[in-house]
Chain A
Amino acid sequence: KNQVEQSPQSLIILEGKNCTLQCNYTVSPFSNLRWYKQDTGRGPVSLTIMTFSENTKSNGRYTATLDADTKQSSLHITASQLSDSASYICVVGKANTGTASKLTFGTGTRLQVTL
């Protein structure tokens, strides 16, 4: 069964601190892995997209890593800001799916950044 599991479920950190969110997946065959940020009451917004040949990708203070051998990814947030408070969703795309990319979504990690 294709699954994407994220940890922790929720996290509270102080502004300015770093944090790392984890994602494990069983989707096969693997095509790509995405991290999305979803603010409360809004739609998800893409942060990074990686294929199996990429093991790290950055977008500002966000850095995603991918280990396709162990089927793990992480999202590292540096020098957190209050605006980073959101849910972060790991999404894995399946290969060989015909006309449309089949995506499996994790349930997300809810991050709260406090003063």
Chain B
Amino acid sequence: NAGVTQTPKFRVLKTGQSMTLLCAQDMNHEYMYWYRQDPGMGLRLIHYSVGEGTTAKGEVPDGYNVSRLKKQNFLLGLESAAPSQTSVYFCASSYTGFRIDEQYFGPGTRLTVT
């Protein structure tokens, strides 16, 4: 099992450019999440999905869109990148959203917007 994988690992964008981050999991998990991690701050939830075809907003959703067309994949899109979106992005998945269900994280994507 590869667990949770993320593509790409690193990316540099210019302001205004768009890109899509791909997250894939092979654990048959229903729930998937996108977080961002910034220096001096805890991880913050951007969007999440409770199953194939569903998405929901998290704590900091502005400037991002997501899609969950297949159960194993969760895509995070930036339509017009801004320097404030420079961050490390983590995808996670869990079997359910039950209160003590463990979340498994991917290795992260480091994004720099210039």
Interface size classification for chain B: 20 to 34
Report if A80 contacts B (CB, 8 A).
Answer: no
Report if A1 contacts B (CB, 8 A).
Answer: no
**Contact of B102 with A43 in the complex, beta carbons under 8 Å:** no
Cβ-closest chain B residue relative to A93: B99
* Residue count of chain A within 8 Å CB distance of chain B: 25
Cβ-closest chain B residue relative to A39: B107
Q: Which of A80-106 contact B (CB under 8 A)?
A: 89, 91, 93, 95, 99-106
Q: Which residues of B contact A (CB under 8 A)?
A: 4, 31, 33, 40-45, 48, 50, 56, 90, 92, 94, 97-108
Could you pull out 7 A-B pairs where Cβ atoms are within 8 angstroms? A31-B99, A44-B90, A49-B100, A101-B101, A105-B42, A105-B43, A106-B42
Q: Which residues of A contact B (CB under 8 A)?
A: 4, 31-32, 41-46, 49, 51, 89, 91, 93, 95, 99-108
